[in-house]
Every structure is written in structure tokens, then in C-alpha cells.
Amino acid sequence: MNTQDLRINGERLWQSLMELAQIGATPKGGVKRLTLTDLDKQGRDLVVSWGRQAGMSVTVDKIGNVFMRRAGRNPGQAPVMSGSHIDTQPTGGKFDGNYGVLAALEVVRTLNDHNIETDAPIEVAFWTNEEGSRFVPVMMGSGVFCGAFTLEHAYAAKDVDGKTVRDELERIGYLGTEEPGQHPIGAYFEAHIEQGPVLEDADKVIGVVPGVLGLSWYDCVVTGMEAHAGPTPMGLRKDALQVATRIMQEVVNIGNRYPPYGRGTVGMVQVFPNSRNVIPGEVKFSIDLRNVSSDLLDTMHQEILAFVDQTSRDSGLQISVDRVSYYPPCPFHPDCVGAVRRATAKLGYSNMEVVSGAGHDAIYTARLAPSGMIFVPCKDGISHNEIEDAKSEHLEAGCNVLLHAMLETAGVVNG
Amino acid sequence: MNTQDLRINGERLWQSLMELAQIGATPKGGVKRLTLTDLDKQGRDLVVSWGRQAGMSVTVDKIGNVFMRRAGRNPGQAPVMSGSHIDTQPTGGKFDGNYGVLAALEVVRTLNDHNIETDAPIEVAFWTNEEGSRFVPVMMGSGVFCGAFTLEHAYAAKDVDGKTVRDELERIGYLGTEEPGQHPIGAYFEAHIEQGPVLEDADKVIGVVPGVLGLSWYDCVVTGMEAHAGPTPMGLRKDALQVATRIMQEVVNIGNRYPPYGRGTVGMVQVFPNSRNVIPGEVKFSIDLRNVSSDLLDTMHQEILAFVDQTSRDSGLQISVDRVSYYPPCPFHPDCVGAVRRATAKLGYSNMEVVSGAGHDAIYTARLAPSGMIFVPCKDGISHNEIEDAKSEHLEAGCNVLLHAMLETAGVVNG
């Protein structure tokens, strides 16, 4: 068979997704399968059994990341890997993470069906605790793998009951022996639902992901003078909220000023004393700025600082703004982005570039190996929610793109 | 003695204020004497004993309002009354309310010192539960007196421990027999600290109070669409906070548009889900509009409704705005305002018009009899706070104005 005509089995992919979603299924149609719980063990065991049935060998590392390997013609060549995570949010859906793992498995099953041999080995991976709901930090398995933080740091993390990551890994039988990061990766692809509204809004099937937005988080505090709303004339007020709203609006203006990937969000606000007839004496709020390049994000950073400074001078109120988090933008490797783009074009799917606004394990693999992602639409852009939904034909399309991007990268012996 | 030269005893007034402030004194120099508590009873008993020592007869009505009467030459004439309240906020000061009661007492003491007889009787009043901290509604005693709500409604009010107003009145011995509202009033004057910054800012001693601001309170709810701050492009957002901040700014603009007495305040804000990386799906906030005339307040009311309507159409977001409270402006009687103005001029104190932004018992007496108020400066405009402070010479000046305004109104037999 000419591999150009090769297609995955969309029905099988869907059935596997639905079967895995039974483990931790919620009455509202979602999934609650928190990392390193009994349910996570059941999910892991199921996926591993499927991997073994597909002829793959299984390795587990010390942070519980699982790598399932389909041999290639050149055993010494670093594998072309694909995967994601199978842990979910407390009120999670069926597709977030799970799709990326089972799409990779479906690629292997398809290659098996047609006896396709690749030059490089193919690996299916799932990473421990991507969600971070039970243990922080998020993206723990891939983070330890790429050296973003240490194994000891991850081991010591505790859930609300005081149980540690290390103990729970051991308890469910996924405390492996391989040193994290020692597992070679030639290239990494991750298929994922978009978790945003862009593809659906533009009516496209495939999102080619050029990278992941960087973000800067800030805490801003405006200090005015608390006073009674009745007796205090407008001209004698130091209204912290009135001044804060100017900055809140500018945050959005800055996001709008750097399209298409600029984002400016105020998500959290606290007003003191928060009483109906008292002029607010203090307002604290969060600022979230994102963009696709470090230069743009830095420009946005400078602009908010300058605006706060000017607003403080104009109003005479003290305003502090502190950056509390920074993740640099993560552009994906041109080889991987190109492979996704070429596969999509070859398959004839409608497509567009969609940058990732959320974090994924691919951010961390990108530190060690060329990485790329494939997005498919999700209903109303909703994720981290039991009503998360996606169409079978979109999931199938994304998996076909994954298949051909991996084949191009791995090299096909009889292609 | 020519009553034109009559002056109150500022030192005695100050000493009485300090003595009353011992009852419920807080470590920070304030007073905690909640209505109808044991401490309130002690305070009431002390003021009543002072009243009796000054030769006054005492009447208590069914809601615990206390009237202390100094006879006039014409016993059938309705008394010229002055007073306020002696209950305090949980973290209250020494002067709010207490000054008005003890200034009225000082007027009587001064008349006694100089054997001045008035045509109309003079009465010193203190009203039950002006503060509303322990029992709602606020201004309870004067409210029942003027028929704003019923005695039964007030009696049934419970504190956090489930104790009722009626039981507590009985317990402390201030459940009187007189029917509220049956006590005649010829005219009513109330001296009070300003509880705002205007006099201090303008460096004036006396505030002639033309009336009390009316107010409209609203609850506003902006409904957008909660979404992840990363994956959601600016153009696809329904950011409830961004839209809410436009309205919040307009509230202040409306206050500024109707000087000198217009007020526009947003004091309370709730953002949902109030998470740093989630675009707010809903924002609730309060709106407080005030002005001195019904026409102006109605104009402001129409403007905020129109702005909300326009903002909803511009943004496509649903916005509700409901008026939850309305108190009409209360202009004081020209006779009383004139008496205060003439007394101030005669005494030569620097002065200005200062409208009251907060509620006072005089708002309710004004429904039954000509009423007026006299303001004196308080430090930094701060009240309802243990650091509330006022200067002895200002309190003395206000009391002298009260004396002469009352004398003019009551008529002096040998003046």
C-alpha cells in the first residue's frame, strides 16, 4: 500500500476514547480521573494493555511517565514520539489529553494494520500529572523530564490529604526505574483539542500550531482613601476603584493592540472594604498578558508599567504592579510545524494557524527535541468542563494529520 | 444680661463629651456603645441624670426615644427641640451623635446659668438606634416617631443573637409609655460633626446645612462568557469585567456632571469566577448616586439607565440594573436654615453651606416639623471610626450657633 493513501480508523479511535472515558465517568458526561489515584491506575493499565496488544514495549520512568515503543528499522535512531496525558481535572472532559494519547496509539494500530515499517522507532507517551489539580506544579512529568524542576521537588508535592507524589506513584505501581530525561526523543508531536473557540469560529478542521503563547502575570494594587460615599464630594475623593478601572481597561487595550496573538485579561478583583456606601480605599487585581514572541510580550510589559506609572502621577494615588509569573513564548520547531502543515495540505483538510494559549506537555518536550502540535475544534471552545465535546470526524482528521506528520518525520521504509 | 452676648461653656461641653465617652471606651480611643446594650443603658442613665440635674422633666416613648424638657413661658407652645443619638458604631468615635445631644444639654445649662426664660419650651432629645449596627433599620427611633415604619416592625428586629428590640428596651428600662409621634415639636435643630472633609478642606468652622442628599442605590449585573484567558482571542471574548468597567467609570462621570452635590460611587464589586486566568463571565457591582434635589437625582437616574442600555447594545452583553433603594433629598426648612445662618453671622464664625451626604435623625423630624442642622469640622473627614476626632473650639462654636438659633426660634422673654 502506498502510505500516501493511508488513513487511521476513526471509529476505533472513537471507541477507545469512549472506553477510556468510562473510567471515572461522571453523571454529567465528563471524567474525573485525578492523577495517581486508583482510577488513574485503571486508566494507565488499560492504555498500557492496549499498547502491549499493539506489540509495543513499555518503559516507565521515575516520575511515572510511560513510553510505549514500536520498533523501527534503525533501532539506534531516536524515536518519533507522540502523546499527551490521561489525567483529568476534577470536572474534566473525555478529550483533553486522552485524545493525544489515543490518537498516537491509533497511529501505531494503523501502521500495524498495514504492516508499515518506519526508519525511526515510533513511541506513544503519556506524562504524569499534566493537569496539576491534585498536585502542583502542573505538567509535572514532562517538567521533570526536561529539567524544569527536580524529581525531588515533584516527589515531595502533597495533595490535600498530605499524600505525596512519590508514595502515590509507588502505591499504584507506576514508580519506574528509568531516569527522567534519559529517554531519547527524535521529535515529538501532540494532538489536542483546541480548548479555545478559534477553529470553530472560523469553521476549520485542523489548527497548525506555530507555538505556545508566553505569559506575564502581575498583581496590581491601587491605594486610595476609604471614605463615606455621601459626605465626600467628588473633588475630594481618592477613589481607588475609579483609578483601577482605567488600568483594567488599558490591560484589554494592550491585548487588542498586538493582534492576532496578544491577550490582555483582568480575571481577579478584590475591592476594600467592598461596602455599597464606602468609596473604595484599596483595589487589588490580577493582570494577565500573553503573546507569541518575547519581543511583543516585552513591549506589552513595558506598556503596562508605563501606563501604571502615568496613572499614578495623574491621579496622585499610589499604585504598585509586581510581576508574579513569567513563562516565555514557546515557538515550535519549524520541522515539526512544517510536517503538520504538509500533512494537512496533503490530506486536504481546511486549516489555519492557531497558537496555543494554554500550557501542554509539548512546551517541555520542545526544550529537548523538535516538537509540534495539532489542534482540532472543540465545541464552543469549552474545556476543563464535563460538557467538553468534540466531533468524531474532527478527531479522525487530526489523527490522520498526526499519522502523516509522524510518517514523514520517522521515514517510511516502503513508503 | 443681653442674650446677644450669651455664650455656652466650651470646657463643660468638652468634659461632658469625654465623660460620656468613658462608657464603652475602646483602647484605640473610640467608643463601642451599641444600642440597647448594658453600656447604652449606662450612657442613657448618665445623660438623663444630667438632664434632671439641669431641671428638666423626662419622657420616654414606646421606642425608647428620650425627651428632656425645660419649661417655657408658654407651656402650650410646641417645644424647640435639639438632639441626636448616643448609640455608636462597633468601632465608633466620641462625637458622632453624642455631640448633638450634649450640645443641646449645654444650651440648657447655659440658659440655666443666666436664668434665661424662653417663650417656647426647650427640649433635649436622643433617639434610639440611629446607627443601625445592632438592629436594622437605621434611624429606628426617629423613623418610628415620624411614621416611616411601624412600631411593630421596629420591635421585631433581631440582633445576631436573636434578641429583639422590644425585649432589649424592656430589659434596660427604656420601654416608655408615650405613643411615638405624639410628642409635639415646634422646630428641631441637630448639631453634628460633618463626617466629611468639606469644612476642613475649606478651613471653615461652621457648616450651614441646606439639606440632606437623596440617594438611589442599584445592583448592576453584567453577564458575559467565562473563558480561558490564553486560548481565547480578544475578538471572540465576552469579557464581563471590561464592559462593567465602562459603567463604573460612567457612574463617577455622572457624579462629576452635577456639581457641587452630585455623587457617584461604586463601592462593591464581585467578579465571577474571580480566577487569574479566566475571563470574567459575570460581574456584579453596586451603584450609589446622590444629589440635593429630586430633579437632579432623577436626571442622574435616567442617565445611568440610558448608559447601561447603550453599553448593552454596544457590547452585545446582557446587563441588568435594578434600583434597590431610594431616599428622596431632604431640604431643610428655610426658617431653621435661616436661623442657623443668622446665628452664625451674628457670632462671626467662618462658614459655608455644606449639604449632608449621610442620614441623620433630622431627616425624619423634618417630616413633622421645621428642622435644620449645624455641622462642625471633624479631623480628615473621618467618622464611624475609633480615630474620629474634632477640635474643642469647633464644637464650642457649633454649640454657640445652636444656642442662638434655638433662642431666636423659641423667643426670649427678656432678650
Give residue-wise pLDDT tens across range A267-301: 999 999 998 889 999 999 999 999 999 999 999 99
Work out the average pLDDT over A220-228: 94
pLDDT band at B47 (very low <50, low <70, confident <90, very high): very high
CA–CA–CA angle A284, B245, A288 (5° rounding): 50
What Cα–Cα distance (Å) separates residue B263 from each residue in A223, A233, B199, B283?
A: 20, 7, 17, 22
C-alpha cell at B216: 438611589
Work out the average pLDDT over B107-121: 97
CATH architecture of B3-212+329-410: 3-Layer(aba) Sandwich (3.40)
pLDDT band at B319 (very low <50, low <70, confident <90, very high): very high
> Which residues of chain A neighbour B211 with C-beta distances below 8 Å?
none
Closest-CA residue of chain B to A260: B233
CB atoms within 10 A of CB B414: 11
**Displacement of CA A60 from its chain's centroid (Å):** 22
B contact test, residue of A234, A237, A268, A373 with most B CBs within 10 A? A234
Work out the average pLDDT over B117-138: 95
Write out pLDDT tens, residues A289-340: 999 999 999 999 999 999 999 999 999 999 999 999 899 999 999 999 999 9
What Cα–Cα distance (Å) separates residue B220 from each residue in A409, B64, B227, B243, B314?
A: 56, 38, 21, 12, 17
Work out the average pLDDT over B113-133: 96
C-alpha cell at B234: 480578544
Domain boundaries, given as residue ranges, for chain B: 3-212+329-410, 214-324
What angle do the packed helices B240-257 and B294-315 form, to 10 degrees? 150
Q: Tell me, what's the pLDDT at B275?
A: 87
CB atoms within 10 A of CB B119: 16
pLDDT band at A203 (very low <50, low <70, confident <90, very high): very high
Q: Tell me, what's the pLDDT at A383?
A: 87
Q: Tell me, what's the pLDDT at A369?
A: 98
In three-state secondary structure terms, A326 is strand
Question: B60 CB contacts (<8 Å, ≥6 apart)?
Answer: B66, B67, B174, B175, B176, B177, B178
Which neighbouring-strand residues pair with B373?
Answer: B190, B209
Closest CA to B216 of B302, B139, B132, B144: B302
Q: Tell me, what's the pLDDT at B342?
A: 98
pLDDT band at B414 (very low <50, low <70, confident <90, very high): low
Contact B97, B87 (CB under 8 A): yes
User: How many inter-chain contacts (A to B, CB under 8 Å) are there?
Assistant: 186
Q: A288 vs B263: CB contact, 8 Å cut-off?
A: no
What topology is assigned to B214-324 in CATH? Answer: Alpha-Beta Plaits (3.30.70)
Write out pLDDT tens, residues B170-195: 999 999 999 999 999 999 999 999 99
Residues in chain A: 415
**Cα–Cα dist A61/A365, whole Å:** 15
Which neighbouring-strand residues pair with B330?
Answer: B212
DSSP class of residue B164 equals: B
pTM for the whole structure? 0.87
E strand spans, A22-63: 57-60
Q: A228 vs B280: CB contact, 8 Å cut-off?
A: no
User: What are the backbone angles phi and psi of residue B148, rounded to the nearest 5°?
Assistant: -65, -30
Region for B104 from its dihedrals, namely left if φ exceeds 0, alpha if ψ lies in -120 to 50, beta otherwise: alpha
Work out the average pLDDT over B312-328: 96
**Cα–Cα dist A130/B257, whole Å:** 53
Work out the average pLDDT over B224-228: 91
**In angstroms, what separates the C-alpha of A201 from chain B's closest C-alpha?**
8
Work out the average pLDDT over B201-227: 96
Facing A267 at nearest CB: one of B265, B279, B384: B279
Q: Tell me, what's the pLDDT at A1?
A: 65
**Displacement of CA B215 from its chain's centroid (Å):** 13
Q: Tell me, what's the pLDDT at A140?
A: 97
Facing B269 at nearest CB: one of A217, A229, A271: A271
What Cα–Cα distance (Å) separates residue A42 from each residue in A173, B236, B340?
A: 11, 39, 84
pLDDT band at A414 (very low <50, low <70, confident <90, very high): low
**Cα–Cα dist A381/A253, whole Å:** 23
Q: Tell me, what's the pLDDT at B1?
A: 65
pLDDT band at A367 (very low <50, low <70, confident <90, very high): very high
Facing B249 at nearest CB: one of A245, A288, A357: A245
Q: Tell me, what's the pLDDT at B337?
A: 98
Contact A176, A61 (CB under 8 A): yes
Contact B79, B371 (CB under 8 A): no
**In angstroms, what separates the C-alpha of A293 from chain B's closest C-alpha?**
14
B353, with CB counted inside 10 A (0-12, 13-18, 19+), is middle
Q: Tell me, what's the pLDDT at B2?
A: 83
Tell me which amino acid residue B277 is: N
Q: Is the pLDDT of residue A373 over 70?
A: yes
Share of chain A above pLDDT 70, in %: 99
CB atoms within 10 A of CB B275: 15
User: Which residue has better confidence, A269 or B382?
Assistant: A269
Write out pLDDT tens, residues A32-65: 999 999 999 999 999 999 999 999 999 999 999 9
